[in-house]
Chains A and B, each alone.
Chain A
């Protein structure tokens, strides 16, 4: 993919190969926290015995901040509920997912095989979530995915052992598609997202819903993922397309660059910016600063939701960790919540028993994000329209409206 100077091309290639191996090596040293020993030895755990959960979230690399949020959401639920699922004590074994499947898959393998956990929770990266399917099928253990939004995790690559407490890429985007079609933008919207799997799924989900509502996508761009820092060429493309609004999906440093440059190049005053909620979620919003004001996004959560369940959750989270929760915290919090219900109802801790129990838990009515249900092993949940506003000197994603329950698009 990357060419190197002719003079030393071969040497350089060898060298970059060596560089690529470094993260793989470091993955072997994934840290293990939580409790040690204990657990069921020989045969299924008796009712009332402990349940051992492997929490596999990034503790290093670009997603480390998401991992921290998830760990906190998980801990907070356990702390508030006596550290038990049903009448079993929960033992958490922590492992580092890292950035890629090269580190994530071995981490899942480690908690399953070396630590002998009963349940796996976590995974930010979709490729990792898709890569561990066989591992879980072989060991017949349950995995609750707390982020990884790829459609295929609960669609084409579905296994009865993998459930999801987060969202799907197209689910979040489809809600915005339908909303923009209803809001007078049918004449033309420009769609832009990075050229990797999640970006394509977001654009496809948006386009399908927007076009079903009579909207017309006047242009589409897919900037190279992880290699684009200057969006000027694409911003010019948006201006030339005559679009009435822009729909976008970026996260992390790309979300910061895109939103800031969208304002610097004068687009924010003429072509309103809409997006998938990750565009303005978590720490990127602080860095985007005033450039993000007025940006509207859809997501299944905002810490500004005005419900008793969310207010109590945000309060407890702020008290414990000194900052507001993100959707990632809620996804892990809810994973603990549904596991509590399933472990309490299941006769054993194997994947089959737990999957059957998860299928029967009905509506999760006490979640900070609002009521949701499992539908095809992934949440059917309300999607909220949010707008970045300055509330008392802090930028927040204020809730504009509730767009109603949304399934994973077919």
Chain B
């Protein structure tokens, strides 16, 4: 049982790295980015492509994924800029189109057979935890996820850059009036959010593999996390991800016959009790107007 809790934490941190970018872009910059799952899948395929290279390959994949994520985020920001004053539907259609194109390109490049991604050497074994056998690599996910969570929290809440981002969310015109180009703020948040998505892809490859259709699966998981946690809140995304991690593992152990809809039951419960999500205070309400 305890090993399921541990596994829930691992899955939760992976989901956090994936979802926090979506939450920031949607909650703070008010852009619904449906290409977020495709970015994750791109990262997963990069991990698969470099899987043979040991640690060097793993780190190369991470570096390329980070660079590609930054570039893709900046590009997406540029593409959605003309749609800023339009509805979410227009943004969603554009980014969904991008997601479909990216998905097809990945199939053309990597083929449509599902690929398994082995963890880097030394982490491909298993260790004993709570009287059960547990894959070592998932412990790395917990560590990396925790560090990234702390980092994102500190940047957004404790730095000047973070303050600028929060100010842009609160009153875009006022920030522009004091001489800040808020398009650049948006591009930066978009780029970092996308970087986190591709990084999550490389990290998640050894757990989820890389296959066509995975982008849609993880996009839905990320949306669920964002809705449960509340838009634009780092703490919310972290809590939402950890809750979903537990629901998806411990919940399935305790209630196996409800496995297929327990995730969405949790989502429905949160929507009934806290329609704006657990941490979706007034800030998120403004951000998503």
Chain A residues within 8 Å of B, Cβ to Cβ: 1-8, 11-12, 14-15, 18-19, 22, 60-62, 64-65, 195, 221-224, 226-230, 232-234, 236-237, 239, 252-253, 256-257, 260-261, 264-267, 283-284, 287-289
Contacts and interface: CB of A to CB of B under 8 A. Distances in A.
B145 to A, nearest CB: 15
19 contacts: A2-B220, A4-B223, A6-B271, A11-B88, A12-B92, A64-B112, A65-B112, A221-B256, A223-B259, A224-B259, A228-B259, A230-B208, A230-B248, A233-B248, A233-B249, A233-B259, A236-B253, A237-B256, A287-B114
A235 B187 CA distance: 43
Contacts of B7: 230, 232-233
Nearest to A14: B89
B4 A236 contact: yes
Contacts of B88: 8, 11
Interface in B117-156: 118, 126, 132-135
A61 B96 contact: no
B87 interface: yes
A64 B248 CA distance: 30
A284 B114 CA distance: 8
Main secondary structure of the interface of B (DSSP, over half): helix
Given A62-B112, A229-B207, A257-B208, 14 more contacts: A2-B264, A6-B275, A6-B276, A64-B112, A226-B213, A233-B4, A233-B250, A236-B4, A253-B209, A256-B116, A264-B135, A284-B114, A287-B115, A287-B116
Interface in B230-289: 231, 248-253, 256, 259-260, 264, 267-268, 271, 275-276, 288
B233 to A, nearest CB: 14
- Give the size range of B's interface with the partner: 35 or more
A234 B256 contact: yes
A5 B227 contact: yes
A299 to B, nearest CB: 19
B211 interface: yes
A291 B253 CA distance: 24
B32 interface: yes
B23 to A, nearest CB: 11
B162 interface: no
Main secondary structure of the interface of A (DSSP, over half): helix
Contacts of A232: 3-4, 7, 249
A289 B112 contact: no
Residue among A8, A15, A237 with most chain B CB within 10 A: A8
B53 to A, nearest CB: 16
A224 B100 contact: no
Contacts, number: 131
A14 B92 CA distance: 11
Contacts of A222: 259
A103 to B, nearest CB: 15
Interface in B9-29: 11
B126 A252 contact: no
B133 A230 contact: no
A6 B280 CA distance: 12
A64 B217 CA distance: 20
Contacts of B260: 195, 224, 227
B283 to A, nearest CB: 14
A266 B211 contact: no
A6 B133 contact: no
Contacts of B100: 19, 22
Interface string B61-101: 00000000000000000000000000111001100100010
Q: Which 3 A-B pairs have the closest CB atoms?
A: A266-B133, A253-B114, A233-B252
B118 A289 contact: yes
Contacts of B4: 232-233, 236
Given A8-B88, A224-B259, A230 B114 contact: no
Nearest to A19: B96
A256 B253 contact: no
Residue among B1, B209, B214, B275 with most chain A CB within 10 A: B209
A135 to B, nearest CB: 28
Residue among A3, A221, A239 with most chain B CB within 10 A: A3
B112 A61 contact: yes
Contacts of B223: 4-5
A6 B271 CA distance: 7
Contacts of A265: 126, 132-135
A88 to B, nearest CB: 35
A406 to B, nearest CB: 29
A353 to B, nearest CB: 39
Contacts of B256: 221, 233-234, 237
Nearest to A265: B133
A4 B3 CA distance: 30
A229 to B, nearest CB: 5
Nearest to B218: A229
A233 B116 CA distance: 20
A2 B224 CA distance: 10
B207 to A, nearest CB: 7
A15 B132 contact: no
Contacts of A18: 93, 96
A227 B259 CA distance: 10
Interface string B31-61: 0101000000000000000000000000000
A124 to B, nearest CB: 14
A11 B92 contact: yes
Contacts of B253: 233, 236-237
A1 B268 CA distance: 12
B116 A62 contact: no
B226 interface: yes
Contacts of B264: 1-3
Contacts of A60: 112
B183 to A, nearest CB: 23
B259 A6 contact: no
A236 B132 contact: yes
Contact of A7 (B207, B214, B288): B288
B93 A15 contact: yes
A39 to B, nearest CB: 33
B249 A11 contact: no
B137 to A, nearest CB: 8
A288 B96 contact: no
